[in-house]
Amino acid sequence: MKKLLFGFRLDHWLVAICMATMVLIAFLNVLSRYIFHFSLAATEEITINLFVWMTVIGIGIAFERGGHMGMVTFFNMFPKAAQRTSIIIYSLLAAGLFLVLDYYMIQAIYDEITLFEACSAALNIPVWIYYLGLPVLSVFVFRGIYRDAMTKLAERKGE
């Protein structure tokens, strides 16, 4: 896993920023409820969407670290050539799943912009802005899938 200058990883920083923002918003909402007896309605909307975006980035990080569940018992029984083939198939299927998700989300964004023009309830922000996070942040998922596959294939090359 290569790191950029000073260990800077954009995906890690985006997750940290999302988490810090969610914590700050939740804390301010709690203070608002107890001090002013008034709840900030927009906090839930922002927090939920930041959580979704953070989850998409986290999926990419988990792929890269090999943190997803797998059928390791059966996989380890395969010969090395079959293991390499299954890594490639698994990676293509994972990338294909996110391509399908991106396709449908881009279609939903297009529908929101052209047909529905729906806005969020609390902040009156166009809904497609929240939707845009999935296809944009899927870049980290594809990168994680690729890095995971390359790492696992490299491990099996030396054996």
Distance in angstroms (rounded) separating the CA atoms of residues 122 and 113:
19
Residue 88 · residue 149 · CB < 8 Å: yes
Domain assignments of the chain as residue spans, ordered by start = 5-157
What letter would DSSP give residue 36?
Answer: I
Question: For position 15, what pLDDT does the model report?
Answer: 97
**Residue 19, CA atoms < 13 Å, CB-side half-sphere:** 9
Distance in angstroms (rounded) separating the CA atoms of residues 42 and 37:
16
User: DSSP characters for 106-136?
Assistant: HHHHHHIIIII--B-TTT--BHHHHHTHHHH
**pTM for this prediction:** 0.89
Question: For position 158, what pLDDT does the model report?
Answer: 66
Angle between helices 133-157 and 42-65 (to 10 degrees): 20
- The one-digit pLDDT tens for each residue of the chain (159 residues) are 455 556 789 999 999 999 999 999 999 999 999 998 988 888 999 999 999 999 999 999 999 998 888 778 888 899 999 999 999 999 999 999 999 999 999 999 999 999 999 999 999 999 999 999 999 999 999 999 999 999 999 998 866
- Non-local (6+) Cβ contacts of 63 within 8 A are 94, 141, 144, 145, 147, 148
Residues listed for the chain:
159
